[in-house]
Structure 1
Amino acid sequence: MKTNRFWSWIALAFGILYFVLPLLGLLEFSLRMRRGTYSLDAYWVVLTDPGFQATFAYSVVMAIATIIVGVVLVVPTAYWVRLRLPGWRPFIEFITLLPLVIPAIVIVFGYIRLYNTSSILPLTGSAMGTNILLCLGYTTLALPYMYRAVDTGLGAIDIRTMTEAAESLGASRITIMSRIILPNVLVAVLSGAFLTFAIVIGEFTMAALLNRPAFGPFLQLLGANRAYEPAALSVIAFAITWVCMGLIQIVTRFNKSLAATKR
């Protein structure tokens, strides 16, 4: 038992060194913009850059839109599959895993070929259409994470009993979904939402190929022309991801505490 614990600590230490040391080096470099001393000049330059503000705001809006589309698509689908079509679960899970297998560049090239200006639905012919196409692409990329989070949340409750009880009281499908199912899987939905937010903020390929003013392409463009500012921007991007992961943990623990209190 002690030997297993020793090797577990060794593996943990190796993981910390592998992931944390490069980030510490990146952080240290980002503070060296002022010669001979540490400062936050690079962060100040980045945060006051109109390009950063515009691209970050755009990505935040796209992340919120993606979360809304993902919830509207995934929650009813996962609920109906568990309630009425349990035999279809392996097939649905396979479909939701495809974005992990198919590269994002293949997906976006398919979008461009299908929805260019010479097609029946020329979404790439306008800024609004391209934004819609990008939102759908982000929804596809986040689908494996959102679906699994929601499906796990649905598996933790007795949706069949809840549905039958609500139907016996005359509740419609929309009422059941909005007032019974969704509140009971809210923590799972939030977990999927935070993961989706992190994915959208850091995504580069789709936004660049669709020529959208997103945060990922701005980070790449800044890295090609400057030295310290890209390091600061990378630290900020990592911090956003960590905040999302931390919020997932907080929401999950809060839900467990709330469930224990009700018991």
Structure 2
Amino acid sequence: MFDFSMKMQRGKYSFEAYRVVLADPQFQQTFGYSVVLALLTIVLGVLIVVPTAYIVRLRFPVVRPLVEFITLMPLVIPPIVIVFGYIRIYNTSSILPFTGSWLGTNVLVLFGYAMLALPYMYRSVDTGMRTIDIASLTEAAQSLGAGWGRILATVILPNVFVSVLSGAFLTFAIVIGEYVFAALLNLNTFGPYMVWMGGNRAYEPSALAVVAFLITWACMGLMQLVTRFSKSSLAKR
């Protein structure tokens, strides 16, 4: 695919296809839009997952298998089922017509993306919490007068920050390439743009696919680097 993307100019190898793609205003708009959605999804996922994993491990360890089962559901239920559920429940004739406005549709997409990334984010955070003594840290913070919000923000989150970053990189990679939600809810994101490009151009789609692969590989590489750096820092301590 990379070899084919370099053959846009006949008789020689060049990066012309990449230049055309990267200079395309629609690419810049859709990619920037997807990046913003990905960052907001990461924030939303952290706000949902970190307190949930913390409370389950600290107060309700009995329900942990149930929570793990619930977090696996996005891997079983196809995204298209969720989208059609959105359209049916939140259409313009509904009491809550979210799909009838740009802001409402974006809110629904954010929650949908957070749900798609839930299995990866939850397991990353839960694995990080296994490595620390949550009960002792909580008791120590409470003895110093810290409330629940401060404990989560200044004690628990810094200790599982590497795990949160791992989940964040996976979430970013998922959102950047997601197609079903954006296409059926009529959002101009990077996923539908790649599909459109694939149906209308020859060499540019290959270049675009290579760019998408590089983004995903970069996320995976950063995740590995962060994890390795964290392990080396702990070893030095």
Query: TM-score band, normalised by the shorter chain?
Result: over 0.9
Offset at 1:261?
1.1
- Is the aligned partner of 1:94 residue 2:95? no
The one of 168, 180, 188 aligned to 1:205? 180
Offset at 1:96?
0.3
Aligned to 2:117, the other structure's residue is in SS state: helix
Counterparts of 1:123 and 1:192, CA distance in 2? 28
Offset at 1:168?
1.1
- Is the aligned partner of 1:173 residue 2:148? yes
Aligned to 2:79: 104
- Is the aligned partner of 1:154 residue 2:124? no
| Structure 1 counterpart of 2:10, one-letter code | R
Counterparts of 2:133 and 2:93, CA distance in 1? 49
Counterparts of 1:86 and 1:113, CA distance in 2? 36
Counterparts of 2:10 and 2:18, CA distance in 1? 15
Identity rate, percent: 66
Q: Is there any run of 5+ residues in structure 2 with no aligned partner, and where?
A: none
Alpha-carbon displacement from aligned partner over 1:110-156 (angstroms, at most 9, x marks no partner): 11111111111111111111111111110010000000000000111
Counterparts of 1:89 and 1:190, CA distance in 2? 22
Aligned to 2:216, the other structure's residue is in SS state: helix
How many residue pairs get aligned? The number is 237
Aligned to 1:116, the other structure's residue is in SS state: coil
Aligned to 1:48: 23
Asked which structure has the greater CA Rg, the reply is 1
Counterparts of 1:187 and 1:165, CA distance in 2? 22
Aligned to 1:32, the other structure's residue is in SS state: coil
Offset at 1:59?
0.1
Counterparts of 2:86 and 2:129, CA distance in 1? 32
| Structure 2 counterpart of 1:63, one-letter code | A
Counterparts of 2:219 and 2:123, CA distance in 1? 17
| Structure 2 counterpart of 1:183, one-letter code | P
Counterparts of 1:189 and 1:203, CA distance in 2? 21
Aligned to 2:137, the other structure's residue is in SS state: helix
Given the two structures, how large is their TM-score scaled by the length of structure 2?
0.99
